[in-house]
Amino acid sequence: MLPAIGTIATQQSNPTKKTMEAVTQLLNYCATHPNAIIRYNKSDMILHADSDASYLSVPKGRSRAAGYFYLSDKPADPNKPPAEDAPLPTHNGAITVNAKIMREVLSSTAEAELAALFHNGREACPLRTALEELGHPQPPTPIVTDNVTAKGIANDDIRQKRSKAIDMRFFTPQKDAARISTH
């Protein structure tokens, strides 16, 4: 729902028939699902995040980043990314959801996914601090991404050759937030 609202908001100064159709579709969705429920279950209060990006999905060559942050149980080994066949953590209701248009013009899907990881890693830092101040120590925060290249770059599994722009804008700052890991 957030991407739809964001898209409508960017078109409100110069609306078209397509904008009106998007507003109608959003209102129909809200009317169809009036009793949405968010459920929270008992957990270890460990911050987890899912990160995603859509490349060139916004006018003027822009991309969109999204992040879903929730509290769940501790990972089996907090210092290593979980194995591909490891069970997923229990999903609780979101504590925050981000969906925004990235200011940067990106050159590939992998760069968009890595930028989304960077933005979501930055968003996780104050959440981690708040949880720690409330008495819930945090291991490295697992961030799930669906892009193998971005995952490899973030975890130092892929050796970069032609990605200096990625290195300068997203990868190096993300390494400064050493508590954030991806899997």
Could you list the pLDDT tens digit for every one of the 183 residues in the chain?
Answer: 767 777 787 777 888 898 889 889 889 988 998 888 888 888 889 999 999 888 887 777 778 888 999 999 887 777 676 666 777 777 788 899 988 888 777 778 888 888 888 889 889 999 999 999 999 999 888 888 888 877 777 777 777 665 555 655 565 444 444 344 455
Helical H segments across the chain, by residue range: 2-11, 17-32, 109-133, 148-154, 164-166, 172-176
Predicted local distance difference test score (pLDDT) of residue 137: 93
Predicted local distance difference test score (pLDDT) of residue 107: 75
- Displacement of CA 110 from its chain's centroid (Å): 14
DSSP letter assigned to residue 85: T
What are phi and psi for residue 120, nearest 5 degrees? Answer: -70, -35
Q: Write down how long the chain is.
A: 183
145 Cβ neighbours under 8 A, 6+ residues apart: 51, 52, 113, 116, 117, 151, 154, 182
pTM of the model: 0.74
The one-letter code for the residue type at 67 is G
